[in-house]
Structure 1
């Protein structure tokens, strides 16, 4: 073996995933590696370039990876010695989606994918490393400290949360594939494939798959003259078939194709070749599925020009949520993705309003409050928002406020067209009560927190759950500072908030029966929002404020953090966090089924298991109630 290849093998052995391969295997790979010298600022590949036949490892120097978003070049990552990049050819057939450029003089090892593929297929650790990195788009999954040897995905969109969606994003594929008998002649099958405009057919017996035939087989085995056109299909089919279950995700399908070096997968009822054929997945289906990736949705939102555009994207999100729940993806993961997309829609609605009205006369922040402020808005519920503009001189105040009220009205009207109904309580930035200067908001929060109950019809605890959707981060921070300065030794405020949390109606009767609505359109239904979710949301907010827990608004995450801050009661908090997820899932399913907010659950339609799950999820509430009474010394409802 030559010394250069030996030197390369020695180098690779230090970094994942190569450290999972033997020196013998690495030496074999190293003999076909090309060494590329890149001068400073030289580009190796750029966005939309046709894919190379290799992926790359940095031997020395620094490579910058960047994407173009909104006409700006955004640096995604810096790759240093041992880092892998340019993996896109492994996973996709479309062109590069990023640019790789040398920041300084660099030496790169180009590893041919054809050489490396068999080592991936035979080594689950190497495959897992690629799978995990491709699916989550994190740096080196084995080494969250990023000490070196990161794996940079070329499947970049915007944030980790969006690209992890690939790991559970479901595929649409051909559910009525062309099926042919093993005794069919190649000529007949070729004609059938042409007639049905498909590039693959499943060879079946008793509706079980025994082989797959593709255009590639026709070209490589028939067109080249290796077999006559009159031969039977079993002579040229690929067998055994790679079979998968019905709800396979995009990333899983891509990796199975990679692992088995195939271009088609057969979907069967139980995922084995001994069960009924349900469909066929082609490489083309994977490329189409990538267009529904959340990152792509966010890109489309940024380019949207009308409420109609935004509505069609929001409809696709609903579809994504439904499929993800069907695939048993954790509801907290789905909430993360949904909240990013909801937030992007709100932000674009504000931008479209500004494009109509002209530039704002002062700096401002648009905050989502309530469920979207907590990143919990999976369904199309009503909109809640506030607008805070910076302080201006008295003579300008009126004109400035007029502009922002117009902005509020326009934006909430756009959001209503997208499908978010107006808030029935008027908690929106279009309401002059909730669109005002930072000084006015400071007074508002001071009043609420220091003299609670005096204007109790005005205070709503949702004003303590917010997330900036557009504007100045510093304004949001200013509001956060006012809140946390006011919670110190503020027994009166916690007394008020604690009693408010305890006042929510009990979900179960003394005899453990669900308490349902007695009158109205929702008669005999269970109000899962008011009786089950709100007590948990209120409890999590109450304890988070009292423990000075900043920057965490999500109920599930609040309970997780509280378990760390207050370990003596960790079990109660963790039970509450799980209960919250269960209840959210039941509500979301109800909402998707009835195309509404899912607030009222028809218990008659729940399965016995779901009813049991619902009842079990209500159990931690009693403990949470006791904890509130003890911590804030609340004995009775005031």
Structure 2
């Protein structure tokens, strides 16, 4: 690969974790070894039960869908956008792929050889930590026979498991390992392992570990005839044993497995091989530990039969969010996990409504819009949704729409009981304005985009942030195609959106003081949502639509991608991306503390450092405002 190409790939990778933790020379080394894979729309990169590749993957452009087979149907697990890492199973497991990776549209992915990247993982805990989190959210548990063919997020919940995302938590392991002495015959050890349904045995001397045997040893040393089954076990054991203390964390254990290329760790009293054996940690234990926490909630959601049960899950999610922030887990990761769990709650709410009403008369899609459509909903807020059903014969239209209105009203009522208030602006699928056929929605979007401002009270920019929660994916694709088509050479639409973006009141006054509320319930407080976060949300959406960043809804992800596709202004975009995360964290902490939306911050309660941090996060908005004025012809609606 030429130096210039490798340099370009390295520059792309450094914008995304975990590659941003590597030095430039290390990135060049990785980039030089990368394979570039071009995938046509619907082309499969790997599928369930395929043998593992010798590389993992990063999306360079396009969208890759990760799906699994659940209940005899293909279920979408995740969508990977530019910069997203996937296909990590070769790092953490030895069996075949447990999901399918397929291009949702024409895409390019970078194949990064495991052998080249593994040393950087072993040397850099931050890189390992990120890969652990990614693997935990995009994998299944292949070892659990009881849950085979289910998502790893469906693992059985036990009392010892925590309700928190703790990738540095102490993990559960087998505290009653099989222990044998060095002179025990191989055949006897094999018999004991079979009877106890385990894949390893520790060889001890005065209860201190001197070696270990696993299924691999039996396959490579006994099954091929190298040793007879009558020899003593110490002839085929691996030594020395890699030992760890009882309080070892998930990340530390995984790091040792990678460094020493082993599949098991021996737990001892003081972490050395000179103390008593306390247990054994396997790759299976690590995979379960990495993923069991969000999976507990997903499992409970799928089993829920009432709004009350769903509300209990949502309350646990709040605890999970709070503990995750306290542990400094990156906010984009929390957004992603939370977004998937909330989507599961919405999906189950629709399912419960269908169980009450009976099967739908036609195919349809329930789309979350606004903050949930962007996967930015950490706090309990109001509902925003639309429902689109496929076109039907004119004589059936009234009955079909009547069914879907009833479905939407039941669903939104369930969600209200869960804790999501009705939208005060009526932006819900239960409103007949936002529950209609595909043809009607096409007319609606055409009117909004081709004749903006004529009925300005009917348009809201949140209708351009959407994510399917239930139903037919092709319906969502049709809306996306329509929006892309209508943005071409449409200066009038961007004129309208640009002015709407700049209509928010500035966060700081001329003297760089916070513009706080002057009257009303929140007098003296700072409106962080409307003066801080929403201008960034609106700006990211405006530029994403103008540059056709299809499929990227999250504000932080939009700014990061804008920095790549519009490099002349990358500094502004990256500053806005950082600002969005800082402001969002302020709002989330405020909301969790006061059990509310977190929209209004009491500046007086912040210390000097916090006030400066908040103020600095607001400073990129001026640059963003100037960029909007420069990029778009803001005339007619000014």
TM-score (norm 2): 0.63
2:244·2:266 contact (CA, 8 Å) conserved in 1? Answer: no
Superposition deviation, residue 554 in structure 1: 0.8
Superposition deviation, residue 561 in structure 1: 1.1
Per the alignment, residue 194 of structure 2 pairs with none
1:137 to 110, 135, 146: 135
1:261 to 246, 263, 266: 266
1-side partners of 2:463 and 2:52: how far apart?
Answer: 50
1-side partners of 2:74 and 2:404: how far apart?
Answer: 32
Per the alignment, residue 233 of structure 1 pairs with none
User: For 1:491-550, what per-residue CA distance to the aligned partner results, in whole angstroms no more than 9, with x for missing partners?
Assistant: 111111111101100000100000111112111111111000111111111111111111
Count of residues paired in the alignment? 456
Superposition deviation, residue 390 in structure 1: 0.7
2-side partners of 1:609 and 1:288: how far apart?
Answer: 40
Bigger-Rg structure (1/2): 1
Residues 538 and 261 (structure 1), Cα distance of their counterparts in 2 relative to 1, 3 Å cut? same
2-side partners of 1:514 and 1:479: how far apart?
Answer: 40
Please state whether the residue corresponding to 1:367 is helix, strand or coil. strand
Alpha-carbon RMSD? 4.5
Per the alignment, residue 189 of structure 1 pairs with none
1:364·1:388 contact (CA, 8 Å) conserved in 2? Answer: yes
2-side partners of 1:291 and 1:302: how far apart?
Answer: 17
Per the alignment, residue 589 of structure 2 pairs with 589
TM-score (norm 1): 0.63
Residues 134 and 391 (structure 1), Cα distance of their counterparts in 2 relative to 1, 3 Å cut? same
Please state whether the residue corresponding to 1:523 is helix, strand or coil. coil
2-side partners of 1:75 and 1:518: how far apart?
Answer: 48
Residues 324 and 520 (structure 1), Cα distance of their counterparts in 2 relative to 1, 3 Å cut? same
Superposition deviation, residue 635 in structure 1: 6.5
Residues 132 and 461 (structure 1), Cα distance of their counterparts in 2 relative to 1, 3 Å cut? closer
User: For 1:140-178, what per-residue CA distance to the aligned partner results, in whole angstroms no more than 9, with x for missing partners?
Assistant: x9xxxxxxxx99985997489x9xx9974464999xxxx
Superposition deviation, residue 423 in structure 1: 0.6
Please state whether the residue corresponding to 1:383 is helix, strand or coil. coil
Residues 251 and 301 (structure 1), Cα distance of their counterparts in 2 relative to 1, 3 Å cut? farther
Per the alignment, residue 388 of structure 2 pairs with 388
Per the alignment, residue 342 of structure 1 pairs with 342
Per the alignment, residue 556 of structure 1 pairs with 556
Per the alignment, residue 487 of structure 1 pairs with 487
Question: Where in structure 1 are there 5+ consecutive unaligned residues?
Answer: 1-55, 60-65, 89-96, 100-119, 142-149, 175-216, 222-239, 267-280
1:349·1:415 contact (CA, 8 Å) conserved in 2? Answer: yes
Superposition deviation, residue 481 in structure 1: 1.5
Please state whether the residue corresponding to 2:302 is helix, strand or coil. helix
2:254·2:286 contact (CA, 8 Å) conserved in 1? Answer: yes
Please state whether the residue corresponding to 1:335 is helix, strand or coil. helix
1-side partners of 2:585 and 2:472: how far apart?
Answer: 34
Please state whether the residue corresponding to 2:368 is helix, strand or coil. strand
Moved more, 591-600 or 628-637: 628-637
Matches within 5 A, 1:49-68: none
Residue 579 (structure 1) aligned with residue 579 (structure 2) = yes
Residues 130 and 567 (structure 1), Cα distance of their counterparts in 2 relative to 1, 3 Å cut? closer
2-side partners of 1:130 and 1:485: how far apart?
Answer: 41
User: For 1:7-37, what per-residue CA distance to the aligned partner results, in whole angstroms no more than 9, with x for missing partners?
Assistant: xxxxxxxxxxxxxxxxxxxxxxxxxxxxxxx
2:141·2:287 contact (CA, 8 Å) conserved in 1? Answer: no
1:307·1:417 contact (CA, 8 Å) conserved in 2? Answer: yes
Residues 614 and 282 (structure 1), Cα distance of their counterparts in 2 relative to 1, 3 Å cut? farther
1:579·1:620 contact (CA, 8 Å) conserved in 2? Answer: yes
Residues 360 and 259 (structure 1), Cα distance of their counterparts in 2 relative to 1, 3 Å cut? closer
2-side partners of 1:253 and 1:515: how far apart?
Answer: 49
User: For 1:87-127, what per-residue CA distance to the aligned partner results, in whole angstroms no more than 9, with x for missing partners?
Assistant: 69xxxxxxxx999xxxxxxxxxxxxxxxxxxxx9xx95699
Superposition deviation, residue 441 in structure 1: 0.8
2-side partners of 1:440 and 1:354: how far apart?
Answer: 23
2-side partners of 1:503 and 1:288: how far apart?
Answer: 49
1:170·1:323 contact (CA, 8 Å) conserved in 2? Answer: no
Residues 297 and 68 (structure 1), Cα distance of their counterparts in 2 relative to 1, 3 Å cut? farther
1-side partners of 2:628 and 2:532: how far apart?
Answer: 16
1:629·1:635 contact (CA, 8 Å) conserved in 2? Answer: no
2-side partners of 1:345 and 1:265: how far apart?
Answer: 44
Residues 132 and 477 (structure 1), Cα distance of their counterparts in 2 relative to 1, 3 Å cut? closer
Per the alignment, residue 306 of structure 1 pairs with 306
Per the alignment, residue 444 of structure 1 pairs with 444
Superposition deviation, residue 58 in structure 1: 11
Per the alignment, residue 612 of structure 1 pairs with 612
Per the alignment, residue 91 of structure 1 pairs with none
2-side partners of 1:468 and 1:486: how far apart?
Answer: 21
Residues 241 and 558 (structure 1), Cα distance of their counterparts in 2 relative to 1, 3 Å cut? closer
Superposition deviation, residue 70 in structure 1: 3.8
Per the alignment, residue 454 of structure 1 pairs with 454
Residues 611 and 292 (structure 1), Cα distance of their counterparts in 2 relative to 1, 3 Å cut? farther
2-side partners of 1:483 and 1:67: how far apart?
Answer: 29
Question: Where in structure 2 are there 5+ consecutive unaligned residues?
Answer: 1-50, 55-66, 78-86, 100-117, 156-162, 173-203, 209-242, 258-262, 272-278
User: For 1:573-613, what per-residue CA distance to the aligned partner results, in whole angstroms no more than 9, with x for missing partners?
Assistant: 11101100111111111111111111111112222222111
Please state whether the residue corresponding to 2:347 is helix, strand or coil. helix
Residues 528 and 337 (structure 1), Cα distance of their counterparts in 2 relative to 1, 3 Å cut? same
Per the alignment, residue 478 of structure 1 pairs with 478
Matches within 5 A, 1:322-471: 322-471=322-471
Moved more, 428-437 or 446-455: 446-455
Per the alignment, residue 530 of structure 2 pairs with 530
Residues 543 and 68 (structure 1), Cα distance of their counterparts in 2 relative to 1, 3 Å cut? closer
User: For 1:288-327, what per-residue CA distance to the aligned partner results, in whole angstroms no more than 9, with x for missing partners?
Assistant: 9779511232122122211122111111111111111111
1:369·1:462 contact (CA, 8 Å) conserved in 2? Answer: yes
1:136·1:167 contact (CA, 8 Å) conserved in 2? Answer: no
Residues 58 and 282 (structure 1), Cα distance of their counterparts in 2 relative to 1, 3 Å cut? closer
Please state whether the residue corresponding to 1:261 is helix, strand or coil. strand
Residues 264 and 613 (structure 1), Cα distance of their counterparts in 2 relative to 1, 3 Å cut? farther
Superposition deviation, residue 632 in structure 1: 0.8
1:135·1:251 contact (CA, 8 Å) conserved in 2? Answer: no
2-side partners of 1:637 and 1:154: how far apart?
Answer: 60
Superposition deviation, residue 136 in structure 1: 3.5
